């Protein structure tokens, strides 16, 4: 906290203080400069006016005729800050009448010659005589050809002005000192709130998201403090949500692991008489599709099911269906003919699904195959009809694919009293049945176009004469080329092929 304070808060305090001092000093300097300049100009104008008045008053003392030089000297005031004298312009030179005899300085003579050349009767000016600045005012009487002059040293004239200026500077420095103190006092509350806010952010950085900062005021710092508090609260909520999400993801991962045990471990069965291959791809971590095979003696019972929707709720129902399959071993002890009765198997599964609740229903297709006789008995609970064809033909066409649409009944879970029927089919070597869920035909590309049954049959035409594994992989490759993204619905495909 100490190092961070030195790096952040202290420089900020110093910057604020310097900015406030510079602004106050500049403002005060400009104000004093303008005030003093104005005062000095007013004072100068007043002095020139006063000198001009004195010169005019001196001229008034003479009257209408010029007395002799001694009488003129008596008219000159004495013992004052001002020096009075008369100038008598004559041909070729200018004489001076003063208490103390003296001659005009060249600068003075230049001034009065200019006055005579320009025919000025009155005026005031500042000239420098032997290094000393003087203020002059004169009154010229053309009739008497006489100039009354009053002058005073500039330093003497502005003595009071300098005193006032010095006092003003003293007071200005005093006011500046007060302003500096006030700057420190005013900057302290702001930096104190920033320091408190900085401490809060440091605690948040350490992971203490429950901390809150209390900053008074409705200024920008207060708004920033509210934002930091709101951010800390949202982070705290987000952390809780992430923990909950991690917990749910862990539970879903466990559910996914459990569900994976519902499917054949090697994705199918390969025997001398038949070949079964299957593929399952969930839309999410867990799926609502399921397929399985139960083997008992000469009989192979193939199941494929599709629960409404997908995700964890649908996956829970597939667990129920899988339990029905595993329960066949117990049922066969009491009723051995149960394997050849897919309609009764569907009734049994329907009772189990109805007992799980009415929120989700399941479509299911059950096919019982006697591998010795080739007899296939099947029953359907509103599932997508499988496609039956013989792969021995040299060239497959659309009409070679027959959907098994017989023996169709209600969905599992739709009606506890639901009844199902069976249908029989005699299979020969190279006969093939393609089972699938609607996630395959309803898969969409980027344009929203469904893959459809027409493209499925086209893929089967292309790959149907190959081995079960190649047929299944070929169909799925065609589907992935059409819809490369993850499917929006669970996808399951199973191929049963009678070997030659």
3-state secondary structure 345-387: HHHHHHHHHHHHCCCCCEEEEEEEEECCCCEEEEEEEECCCCE
The percentage of the chain sitting over the pLDDT mark of 90, rounded to a whole number, equals 26
CATH number, domain of 39, equals 3.30.450
Q: Please give the tally of structural domains in the chain.
A: 3
* Cα 428 from Cα 498, distance rounded (Å): 7
Verify that 129 and 220 share a domain, yes or no: no
Verify that 318 and 245 share a domain, yes or no: no
Verify that 146 and 7 share a domain, yes or no: yes
pLDDT digits (tens, 9 = 90+) for 91-142: 556 778 887 777 888 888 888 888 888 888 888 888 888 889 988 888 888 8
CA dihedral 323, 325, 328, 329 (to 10 degrees): -80
* Cα 244 from Cα 224, distance rounded (Å): 30
Domain coverage including residue 225: 216-260
Which residue has better confidence, 81 or 400? Answer: 400
Verify that 279 and 254 share a domain, yes or no: no
Q: Is residue 177 part of a domain?
A: no
Output the CA–CA distances (angstroms, integers) from residue 278 to 52, 379, 470, 479, in the order listed: 123, 19, 11, 15
Q: Which of 31-45, 115-129, 432-446 ranks highest by mean pLDDT?
A: 432-446
Verify that 246 and 306 share a domain, yes or no: no
pLDDT digits (tens, 9 = 90+) for 453-464: 999 999 999 999
| Predicted confidence band of residue 494 (pLDDT cuts 50, 70, 90) | very high
- Return mean pLDDT, the chain: 81
Verify that 254 and 132 share a domain, yes or no: no
Per-position b or e across 167-201, b if 16+ CB within 10 A of its CB: eeeeebeeebeebeeebeeebeebbebbbebbbbb
* Cα 380 from Cα 407, distance rounded (Å): 6
| Predicted confidence band of residue 188 (pLDDT cuts 50, 70, 90) | low
| Predicted confidence band of residue 28 (pLDDT cuts 50, 70, 90) | low
The pair of three-digit structure tokens given for residue 497, joined into one six-digit string: 């092929």
| Predicted confidence band of residue 262 (pLDDT cuts 50, 70, 90) | low
| Predicted confidence band of residue 1 (pLDDT cuts 50, 70, 90) | very low
Verify that 458 and 494 share a domain, yes or no: yes
Q: Is residue 202 part of a domain?
A: no
Q: What is the pLDDT of residue 234?
A: 80
Contacts of 311 (CB under 8 A, 6+ apart): 283, 284, 285, 286, 287, 288
* Cα 206 from Cα 144, distance rounded (Å): 100
Q: Tell me: pLDDT of 195 over 60.
A: yes
Verify that 153 and 54 share a domain, yes or no: yes
In this structure, are strands 362-370 and 375-381 parallel, antiparallel, or unpaired? Answer: antiparallel
């Amino acid at each position: 906290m100490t190092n961070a304070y030195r790096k952040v808060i202290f420089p900020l305090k110093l910057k604020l203080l310097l900015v406030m001092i510079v602004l106050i000093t500049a403002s005060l300097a400009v104000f004093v400069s303008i005030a003093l300049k104005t005062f000095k100009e007013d004072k100068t104008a007043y002095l020139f006016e006063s000198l001009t008045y004195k010169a005019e008053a001196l001229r008034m003392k003479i009257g209408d005729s010029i007395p002799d030089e001694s009488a003129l000297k008596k008219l000159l005031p004495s013992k004052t800050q001002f020096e009075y004298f008369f100038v008598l312009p004559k041909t070729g030179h200018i004489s001076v009448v003063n208490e103390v005899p003296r001659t005009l300085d060249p600068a003075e003579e230049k001034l009065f010659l200019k006055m005579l050349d320009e025919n000025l009767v009155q005026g005031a000016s500042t000239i420098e005589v032997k290094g000393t600045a003087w203020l002059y005012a004169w009154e010229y009487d053309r009739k008497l050809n006489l100039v009354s002059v009053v002058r005073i040293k500039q330093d003497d004239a502005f003595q009071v002005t300098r005193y006032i200026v010095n006092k003003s500077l003293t007071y200005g420095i005093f006011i500046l000192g007060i302003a500096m103190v006030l700057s420190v006092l005013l900057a302290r509350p702001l930096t104190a709130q920033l320091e408190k806010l900085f401490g809060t952010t440091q605690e948040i950085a350490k992971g203490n998201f429950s901390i809150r900062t209390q900053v008074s005021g409705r200024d920008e710092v207060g708004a920033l403090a509210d934002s930091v508090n709101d951010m800390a609260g949202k982070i705290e909520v987000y952390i809780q949500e992430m923990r909950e999400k991690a917990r749910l993801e862990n539970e879903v991962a466990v559910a996914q692991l459990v569900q994976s045990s519902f499917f054949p471990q090697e994705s199918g069965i390969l025997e001398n008489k038949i070949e079964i291959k299957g593929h399952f791809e969930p839309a999410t971590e867990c799926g609502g599709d399921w397929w399985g095979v139960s083997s008992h003696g000469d009989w192979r019972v193939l199941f494929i099911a599709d629960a409404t929707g997908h995700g964890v709720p649908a996956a829970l129902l597939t667990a129920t269906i899988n339990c029905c399959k595993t329960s066949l071993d117990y049922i066969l002890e009491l009723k051995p003919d149960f394997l050849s009765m897919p309609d009764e198997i569907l009734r049994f599964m329907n009772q189990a699904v109805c007992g799980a609740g009415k929120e989700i229903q399941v479509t299911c297709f059950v096919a019982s195959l006697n591998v010795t006789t080739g007899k296939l008995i099947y029953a359907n609970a509103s599932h997508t009809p499988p496609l039956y064809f013989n792969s021995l033909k040299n060239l497959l066409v659309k009409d070679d694919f027959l959907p098994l649409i017989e023996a169709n009944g209600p969905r599992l879970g739709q009606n506890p009293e639901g009844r199902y029927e069976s249908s029989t089919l005699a299979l020969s070597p190279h006969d093939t049945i393609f089972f699938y869920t609607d996630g395959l035909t309803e898969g969409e590309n980027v344009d929203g176009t469904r893959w459809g049954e027409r493209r499925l049959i086209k893929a089967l035409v292309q790959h149907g004469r190959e081995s079960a594994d190649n047929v299944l992989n070929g169909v799925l490759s065609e589907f992935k080329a059409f819809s490369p993204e993850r499917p929006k619905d669970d996808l399951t495909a199973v191929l049963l092929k009678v070997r030659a």
